[in-house]
Structure 1
Amino acid sequence: MTILKVTPEAEASGLTAEIYDADRRSLGHVPSHTKAMSLNPEAYLAWESLTQAISTSLGLRWYELVTLAAAQAIGSTHCRLAHGKKTLTIIPEEHLCAIAIDFHDADLPEAEVAMMDYAVKLSTDAAAMDDGDAQRLRDVGFSDREIADITMAAAARNFFSRALLALNVELDVPEGMSEQLKKALLAPLPPYSAAERT
């Protein structure tokens, strides 16, 4: 549990109160990660604005798939669980479980597998990336704008996930999540690299 003294809900005011209220409206509660990151409410709102701009441009399905791949590569259980719950609105649970365990063997289109491989590499070895990585995305049909959006979605996830891990923020398990999906979302990255699959 983080050593940071977060603002209790009953004491929240100004921007922090607005952030808490938004989560209560959309989620029914205020998650631990919101409380920790809204210690700087201006930065938190900037983060929300950034991710909204990226997801609107990229599309919700691709944004969530990139997010899940990046979070798994980072080892972020916070973001895997939170975004797994969000992804249930667009992908059936059985398919989402397969994606979460190993997206290479989940009957996804080649382009989506390539996109998720890219997010994994960015999250584990960005310094080793070169034009070939972006070219693979172009070869499977992504536009330059989409490649930029995929990159920004994965990089943004690295920012948020790594901050939560560094601050040892308490893990929230979304209400109503099945044990099967929870187990799948908490599965580690398969023991082979993206490069070995391409």
Structure 2
Amino acid sequence: MIIRTPDPDGSDGVIAEIYRDDLAEDGFVFSHTRAMAVNPEALAAFEALIHAVVPSIGVRTYELATLAAAGALRSRHCLLAHGRKALRSGALAEDQIEGLAQHGEHPDFSDADRAVIRYARRLSTHPTDMTDADGQGLRDAGFDDRQIVDITLAAAARNYFSRALQALAVPVETDLVGLSPRLRDALLASASE
């Protein structure tokens, strides 16, 4: 990593608050958390954006958009973190996440799920080629204006966060409690294709 990050030992105030969840859940502070703690105000703004979009689209749609964008960006950080979050929240089952990672598909996915995945991938790989037809795919799947905006913001936010971590060469912790070795390997393999 090309930056110096706040040390978890002896941190106090806002930095200690940022580190608290990682320490409580995993016993250490993730490299991506440490990198983002360098600018706590920017991290708080990012988290506020996420909290603003999830209510209209729900956790499942948010995680589908996030995982699809992270996969398109080959973001190992975000694939692993959100694979685990999607499992823990119950938004997606392990086989659904594995199918999304390996094939971009799962038989249980609805037409609306598939539309979100396509849209988030396109936003992440060919944003300058997007037209009204891309958004129409979401509308045809039943999403309203607010939901289309929030799906767009969810995928765009993942682009922001993933690309920042990649640009800063933040190390990836791959042994996460809550991810089976099989799912971890599928997520990592999708990031290297």
Q: Calculate the TM-score normalised by the size of structure 1.
A: 0.89
In 1, the alpha carbon distance for the partners of 2:107 and 2:70 equals: 18
Unaligned runs of 5+ in 2: none
Aligned-partner Cα distance in 1 for 2:135–2:114 = 14
Matched, 1:81 2:80: yes
| Aligned equivalent of 2:138 | 137
> CA RMSD, aligned part only?
1.8
- Which segments of 5 or more consecutive residues in structure 1 lack a partner in the other structure? 192-198
Counterpart CA distance in 1 for 2:104 and 2:61 is 13
Q: Counterpart in 1 of 2:99?
A: 98
**Farther off after superposition, 23-32 or 140-149:** 23-32
Aligned residue pair count: 190
Q: Deviations for 1:8-48, whole angstroms, at most 9, x for unmatched residues? A: 10132221111111332355432110000110111111111
Check 1:20–1:105 CA distance in 2 against 1; reply closer, same or farther (3 A cut): closer
Find the aligned partners of 2:171 and 2:55 in 1 and give their Cα distance: 29
Q: Secondary structure at the match of 1:10?
A: coil
Bigger mean CA offset, 144-153 vs 86-95: 86-95
Q: How far apart in 2 are the matches of 1:83 and 1:67?
A: 7
The equivalent residue for 2:185 is 183
Match of 1:114 in 2: 115
CA shift digits 1:42-65 (9 cap, x unpaired): 111111111122123321011001
Code of the aligned partner of 1:187 = A
SS at match of 1:29: coil
Partner residue of 1:69? 68
**Greater shift after overlay, 69-78 or 38-47?**
38-47
1:99 and 1:106 in contact (8 A); partners too = no
CA contact (8 A) 2:96 2:106 kept: no
> After alignment, is 25-34 or 152-161 more displaced?
25-34
Which 4+ stretches in 1 moved above 2 angstroms?
22-29, 103-107
Aligned-residue offset at 1:112: 0.7
| Percentage of identical aligned residues | 47
1:162 & 1:94 partners in 2: Cα distance? 27
TM-score, normalised relative to structure 2? 0.91
SS in 1 for 2:143: coil
Look up the SS of the partner of 1:163 in the other structure.
Answer: helix
